[in-house]
Amino acid sequence: MTPCLRVAMLALLAAACGPAPHVAPPTAGTYVNPVATPVAADPSVVRAADGTYYLFATQDDWGDGAYLIPTFRSEDLVSWTFVGDVFDAAPGWKDEGFLWAPDVSRRGDGYVLYYSYSTWGDPNPCIGRATAARPEGPWTDLGRAVFCSDDIGVENSIDPFFWEDGGAQTLVWGSFAGIHAVELTADGTAPADAPVRLTDDRFEAAFVARRAGFYYLFLSSGSCCAGAASTYEVYVGRSASLTGPYVDRAGLDLRSGGGTRVLAGNATWVGPGHVAVVADADSIDWLFYHAIPRADPRLPNGVNRRPALIDRVAWVDGWPVVHDGAGPSTNPQAAPVIR
């Protein structure tokens, strides 16, 4: 299916399914959640060289077939348009599986994508890699795994997050088997060292942000995908080193029960999680994440309705606070500043 046809079908699907409930419509300079619909789970956001933003999401079936890492484009971080998929067909180096939790970064003149490749409950899930000159592709797959669980010795090796600092490349990943970090080879295609464990088994969906000399490890815990019964929440710890140890606001190690809660559900939204942090032109941080509308949790085909949401991050005494702890915003909010 061509991107244009999919855009047209997306518009028809949105009309048929209806938007998530809004308290009031946005006005100029404001927005209302959600910002990318009908499904944009596990969002990863990157800004292109021309200033345009791109959002990449987990494979899902919106009712008209599988979207293999759907891609959205925006000029302002709150108005997103579907532009196509990363892949026309799943990479052939694994017998079967879904393409989960993409992480996209801008590197030099191009872009690199790390993604999970597994079935649900796969005993040997893998992490793949693809590259492109432009965020809209075409993307060229590595043609093999960066590593799989059996290779690296870490169960449930999914949810990759890429970090580059001073030339060193690190992959942070994991899902309910400990979050781990490993240095990559210079070309970013294989582990270069043994993994380091950062947390205990309660978390998945790692994202690292750096602020005021600390690394902040954002994580999700609970059930991501149980419709209105989803229990996903977002937690954080911080460290002076990328590889830890990470502690919460009370000083408790995330490897031993620690974790400061940042975001939980409310009366309108359940299961918020799998975050990305993006700074606007005024250096204000914004939390991207998916959540499920409590009153309308599934598409007609049964897929979890997980649109992308955005809320401002306030930093209070060196710790992130989102919407004053009240869960996802439901009223019009001041929009990010874009220049």
- What value does the mean pLDDT take over residues 70-81? 98
Bridge partner list, 54: 46, 73
11 exposed, middle or buried (CB, 10 Å; 0-12, 13-18, 19+)? exposed
Name the average pLDDT for the chain: 93
Q: Distance between CA 169 and CA 183 in Å, rounded?
A: 6
Confidence check: pLDDT of 7 > 70: no
CA distances from 273 to 39, 64, 209, 278, 289 (A): 14, 25, 16, 15, 5
* pLDDT tens-place string over residues 101-127: 999 999 999 999 999 999 988 999 999
Distance of alpha carbon 273 from alpha carbon 276, whole angstroms: 9
Summarised one tens digit per residue, pLDDT across range 209-268 is 999 999 999 999 999 999 999 999 999 999 999 999 999 999 999 999 999 999 999 999
Structural domains in the chain, CATH included, are: 3-334 (2.115.10.20)
Q: What is the pLDDT of residue 166?
A: 87
Does residue 17 carry a pLDDT above 70?
A: no
Helix/strand/coil for 242: coil
Quote the CA–CA distance of 13 and 116 in Å, as a whole number.
27
Is 61 annotated in the active site?
Answer: no
CB 145 within 8 A of CB 127: yes
Taking only the tens place, the pLDDT of each residue in 284-296 is 999 999 999 999 9
DSSP state of 207: E
Active site residue: 103, 159, 204, 248, which one? 204
For position 16, what pLDDT does the model report?
Answer: 40
Average pLDDT over residues 65-93: 97
pLDDT at position 13: 43
Calpha distance 266→262 (Å, rounded): 13
Active site residue 204: yes
Phi-psi region of 84 (alpha: psi -120 to 50; beta: other; left: phi over 0): left
Residues 305-329 have a mean pLDDT of 98
